[in-house]
Homo-oligomer: A and B are copies of this chain.
Amino acid sequence: MTQKILVLPGDGIGPEITAQASRILAACQARGLDVEVEEGLLGGAAYDVHGEPLPAETLEKAKAARGILLGAVGGPKWDRIEDLAKRPEKGLLGVRKQLGLFGNLRPAITYPQLAEASSLKRELVAGLDIMIVRELTGGIYFGQPRGIEERDGQRVGFNTYVYSESEIERIGRVAFEMAQKRGKKLCSVDKANVLEVTILWREVMERLAPEYPDVELSHMYVDNAAMQLVRAPKQFDVVVTGNMFGDILSDAAAMLTGSIGMLPSASLNESGQGMYEPCHGSAPDIAGQNVANPLATILSVAMMLRYSFDAPALARQIEEAVGKVLDDGLRTADIASEGTRTVSTREMGDAVLAAF
């Protein structure tokens, strides 16, 4: 049966960058990838049409798709929506939750062609290759109770950071297996000196460890992890952590590479269904100008082929095409440097297609 891919352009630069990625997808179909591609509305774009960030129609399409390619959601246009449930971000969180996409893989890789782009000294980031495994459907993002209410004559805001053993075990296994396929080192990040929920987190990771004897498990407090990422990022192989810490650390790690416009991500559920998106945001300041970097989105297609369609050869061909374009000195503005040629979003798409 022909499987489905759903493209959700979203907001800001989302439509431009997914447009280029869709061209690559079409080229993959031409090379025999048996998929049906359709589009849907998510985030602010959906709110503007339907009054909600995750319309029922989009959710239905998402559930029916094996792979979802997302651009990005959010922007100042929707920041003033009073009802948090209607904001663009809630559309994204809704897809994650409804499809059970608990396993978020965020690679932080330094491209040899772009090592100068990092704000860190070259020797600290050359060859950097970290995989951050972030739990994506639990923790404080979804914990109940939550809200703002009146207590003793003043308003109080509250959220709940909660994990069950089974949730921790599930993401722990993803991380251990990832470490087995890579450098065999797993660092679990918590705040077990202060937060009970992360004491349980640490305990479960310890309990799993003997089942993966080839993986060396270590633990680090989140504040120290933030420091160590800045000080000596190459000490890490695979990092596993909860939703909130993962949000912060994966963005910091991505920025270390100096080329956040290059980094894809995957969000998977237990059956391998997944949503794929660039690590960067919707960049409303440059939206519609044909200058955004489409490579992270194009590389998200490669990740999709690898993790959801078991098509590693095609994935590699996309990645090699991107590498070739970089070798040729083509750069969008965000990664431009002396001696390279600055190209537009569409020209970058053209170049990758030509090299594919």
Contact = CB atoms under 8 A, between A and B. Distances in A.
A146 B256 CA distance: 34
Interface in A66-120: 74, 84, 87, 89, 93, 119-120
Contacts of A148: 196-197, 199-200
Contact of A159 (B93, B196, B248): B196
Nearest to A223: B251
A187 to B, nearest CB: 16
Contacts of A224: 251, 281
Nearest to A224: B251
A194 interface: yes
Interface string A172-208: 0000000000000000000101111111110000000
A173 to B, nearest CB: 16
Contact of A227 (B146, B193, B252): B252
A227 B200 contact: no
A147 to B, nearest CB: 5
Nearest to A227: B255
Interface residues of A, number: 61
Interface stretch (A160-168, A294-302, A318-326, A346-354): A160-168
A232 B260 CA distance: 14
Contacts of A162: 156-159
A47 interface: no
Contacts of A281: 224
A288 interface: no
A143 B158 contact: yes
